[in-house]
Structure 1
Amino acid sequence: MASEQPAGPSGRRGYHHGDLRNALIQAAVERARAGGPQAIVLREVARATGVSSTAAYRHFANHHELVEAVKEHGLSLMAAAMRAEIAAGEPCPDPGDEALRRLRASGIGYVRFAFAEPGLFRTAFCIGADAAEGEPMLIGRRQAAAAIGEEERLPGVPGDSEESYAMMSRSLDDLVACGRLPAERRKYSDVVMWSAVHGLSVLLLDTDLARLPDEIKADIVHRGLDVALRGL
């Protein structure tokens, strides 16, 4: 397998072609962790990985593609945090109570991920444009498509949503199945729950509310989820 050449005179060997893409993504993820989406600069990521910009462009056609890869990585970590929060609780014997428990736990996991990884959270939902193509990076494009049933009308959107969104959606479906949520009220409930947890995350990260003590932030999150769940 052919290997990439190092970017400079450091003497470091470059990555093999089969490994370089993941190495570039990991380097970009670390930059996003430290500084959010604006910290992802392709030439700097290439330098950190020990290869030339030319080598990096063999794996990512432009900055947009690299950011999209980091966004996917961030969303997968968010889903893992939500799964961990669900698994940490005690399952309820009643199916309706269990669906509500999982819905609440997934919401708490969502917000906790935002607090733990603010740079990746901001990157996962960033809005920007690729300088070369002018293609917008739409916030939550797949989630929105799943919620309004327009997967076929939105180019580039797969038939299933990200796992972080699907977990809440499945819990809502279970609430309908066991009779705890009227079927006529199921429509758009995904968006309502998503807006609750995402809105709490953004307000507590990026406004003056970020200065609040952690225990008050936690109380606000629990209160917000109480309101959203009772509103269902």
Structure 2
Amino acid sequence: MNDHTSAKSANPKQSPASSSYHHGNLRVALLEAAVELIREGGVDKLSLRGLARKVGVSQTAPYRHFQDKNQLLVEIAKHTFAELAGATRAVLDDQANATENLYVAGKAYLNFAINNPERYKLVFGPSIDNRSSYTDLVEAGQASFSVLKQLVTRGIEQGEFLEDDPQVLSTTCWSAIHGFAALAIDGFYERQVANTHFDTLLSNHLRLSLRAILR
């Protein structure tokens, strides 16, 4: 039985992932289905065999695209970094100053993280083994971080931010933003600050985080 036949018999009501497969891109379908499975049961319960069942292909089909589960997670993380970078770049305004752009980029970053919690936790969590050995993953992470670093560098050059190492200031900003994202994803603000509108919390956090690096 080939993969196409298996998909038909195993999943007559096609999911978005299997629909992508039937349009000719099994790799994309597997990545989409993997994210769904992580959302439903967490990374620990994800398996390539379960992924094959989800998409409706043979158990060997995923191995033609991913050597093992770890490589699958690496691919999801790479795509996530790229989307995160794209989301932050999309809101930048060439006519705005660095402070204004850093604020809107931070807000876009937080919205992406909160709207994609399973992928955000994957890229910064411990689920991927030996991540430093995957050069393309490291480069994807650096490219995503470079959006922030370029804004900070510009702010330093224009006299908006403290005269300090751009890497240090960028890491300081990112740590504050990442901390907010992680707490929001874990439901901290819903439990502890229920009386304050979430958008107000987010805006105040970004404003105060920026104040730490302003001249």
Same fold (TM over 0.5): yes
CA distance in 2, matches of 1:78, 1:36: 21
Give the Cα–Cα distance (whole angstroms) in 1 for the partners of residues 46 and 72 of structure 2. 8
What is the aligned partner in structure 2 of residue 48 from structure 1? Answer: 54
- Specify the alignment match of 2:72 in structure 1: 66
CA distance in 1, matches of 2:205, 2:11: 51
2:83 to 77, 100, 103: 77
Find the residue that maps to 2:67 and give its secondary structure. coil
Most deviating of 37-46 and 78-87 = 78-87
> 2: distance between equivalents of 1:214 and 1:73?
36
> Which of 37, 44, 53 is the aligned partner of 2:43?
37
Partner Cα distance (1:99, 1:170) in 2: 9
Aligned partners of 1:4 and 1:55 also within 8 Å: yes
User: 2:30·2:55 contact (CA, 8 Å) conserved in 1?
Assistant: yes
Partners of 1:160 and 1:62 lie apart in 2 by 20
Q: Would you say 1:124 and 2:123 are equivalent positions?
A: yes
Q: How far apart are residue 221 of structure 1 and its match?
A: 2.1
> Which residue number corresponds to residue 182 of structure 2?
202
Q: Report the Cα distance in structure 2 between the residues aligned to 1:40 and 1:227, rounded to whole angstroms.
A: 39
- Equivalent in the alignment of 1:21: 27
Find 1:136's aligned residue among 130, 151, 160: 130
Does structure 1 conserve the Cα–Cα contact (< 8 Å) formed by 2:11 and 2:56? yes
**Number of equivalences:** 202
Structure 1 equivalent of residue 207 of structure 2: 226
1:193 aligned residue (170, 173, 182): 173
Contact 1:111 1:201 (C-alpha < 8 Å) held by counterparts: yes
Q: Distance in 2 between matches of 1:33 and 1:207?
A: 16
The one-letter amino acid paired with 1:51 is V
Rate the CA distance shift 1:71–1:40 in 2: closer, same or farther, 3 A. Answer: farther
- Tell me what 2:198 maps to: 217
The percent of aligned pairs where both chains have the same amino acid is 27
Counterpart amino acid of 1:52? Answer: S
Q: 1:204 is matched by which residue type in structure 2?
A: A
Contact map agreement 1:33 1:117 (CA 8 A) in 2 = no
Query: What is the CA-CA distance between 1:11 and the residue it aligns to?
Result: 6.7
Amino acid at match of 2:148: M
Paired residues of 1:6 and 1:52 also in contact (CA < 8 A):
no
For residues 108-157 of structure 1, the C-alpha deviation after alignment (integer angstroms, 9 at most, x for no partner) is 1111112222222222222125xxxxx334xxx6xxxxxxxxxxxx7626
Shift of the 166–217 alpha-carbon distance from structure 1 to 2, 3 Å rule, reads: same
Q: 2:63 aligns with which of 27, 38, 57?
A: 57
The answer for unaligned runs of 5 or more in structure 1 is 93-97, 130-134, 142-153
- Structure with bigger helix share is 2
Q: Which residue is equivalent to 1:146?
A: none
| C-alpha displacement of 1:215 | 5.3
Q: Is the 8 A contact 1:7 1:47 kept in 2?
A: no
User: Hey, what does 2:102 align to over in structure 1?
Assistant: 103
Aligned in 2, Cα 1:6/1:71: closer, same or farther, shift over 3 Å?
farther
The aligned residue for residue 146 of structure 2 is 166
State how far apart, in whole Å, the 1-side matches of 2:55 and 2:210 are. 45
Instruction: Give the Cα separation in 2 of the matches to 1:164 and 1:199.
Output: 17
SS of 1:181's equivalent? coil
